[in-house]
Amino acid sequence: MATPAARPLGAQPGATRPARSTPPDAWLKPGIFVGSLVPLAYLVWRAATNRLGANPIAEIENELGLAGLILLVASLACSPARRAFGWTWAPRVRRELGLLAFFYASLHVAVYIFIDQALNVSAMTADVLKRPFITVGFAAMVLLIPLALTSTKQSIRRMGFKRWQRLHYLAYVAAILVVIHFFWRVKIDVSQPLIYAYVLASLFVIRAGVWLLQKRRPARPVAGAG
């Protein structure tokens, strides 16, 4: 799939214009970056103007956590989206989405530690050890840390792609844990966590399908990414 978006007009005359003045889809990553900060800005605005409702701390925790989960699932959807729909731009924003997910997850945990529990270490320890829903959320956060730390190109080079890729499959494990965290947190209505469970499951199905196809035809070119 070509990306006609980036070079329509400019490609024709080209006289004074260097061949690649603009990288393909130069707007994509900044656009996603700015857009992904909107939920945070919306939270800050409501917090500053006292519009978060009667229980603002709970609201902040919920929204930060949910935004983190959505971004994590979106990052995991990138390569399946390329496989399934030929969206070649999707893998290019995967790292960015993953890091933004980590950013929201960190804020979510920070609010829990510093405001919700107000640094009450014994209460937090009891939570992590005794409350399965916090245990799995904590585990997911711990899993995301090495992924964020090794998100650079240098890390891929240093570790070798295979090893790096194997490490980053942990993102799937983290996402599953976050969905479980969500399921165990809601009082009774599981419709919301169910949506994310379905999305994750369909990503696994696409991955499994791709894997099966590749197994049948081992010499499949990987050119599609270009």
Partner 1 sequence: MGRAASEPPGREITPEGLFVRRREFLKTGARGAATAAVTGASLVWLSGKAPPPDVPETQPALAEPVALGAPAFTVDEPQTPFQAVASYNNYYEFGLDKGDPVRTASTLRPRPWTISVEGDVLKPRTIDIDTLLQWFPLEERVYRMRCVEAWSMVIPWLGFPLSALVDRLEPTGNAKFIEFTTLNDPEQMPGLRIPVLEWPYVEGLRLDEARNPLAFMAAGLYGKMLPNQNGAPLRLVAPWKYGFKGAKSIVKIRFTSTQPRNTWNVAAPNEYGFYANVNPAVDHPRWSQAAERRIGELTRRPTLPFNGYANEVASLYAGMDLRRSF
Contacting positions for partner 1 (CB under 8 A): 5-6, 8-10, 13, 15-17, 21-22, 25-28, 30-39, 42-43, 46, 51-55, 57-59, 63, 66-67, 70-71, 115-118, 120, 123, 126-127, 130-133, 184-185, 187-189
CA distances from 122 to 86, 114, 155 (A): 50, 13, 36
Long-range CB contact pairs, 206-209, < 8 A, 24+ = 206/80, 206/83, 206/84, 207/80
Query: Is the CB of 195 or the CB of 208 nearer to partner 1?
Result: 195
The minimum distance between CB 113 and partner 1, in angstroms, equals 12
Q: Are 101 and 36 in contact (CB under 8 A)?
A: no
Query: Is the CB of 43 or the CB of 167 nearer to partner 1?
Result: 43
Please name the residues in contact with 40: beta carbons below 8 A apart, sequence gap of 6 or more. 64, 67, 104, 107
DSSP state of 115: I
The minimum distance between CB 30 and partner 1, in angstroms, equals 5
Query: Is the CB of 127 or the CB of 171 nearer to partner 1?
Result: 127
The minimum distance between CB 77 and partner 1, in angstroms, equals 13
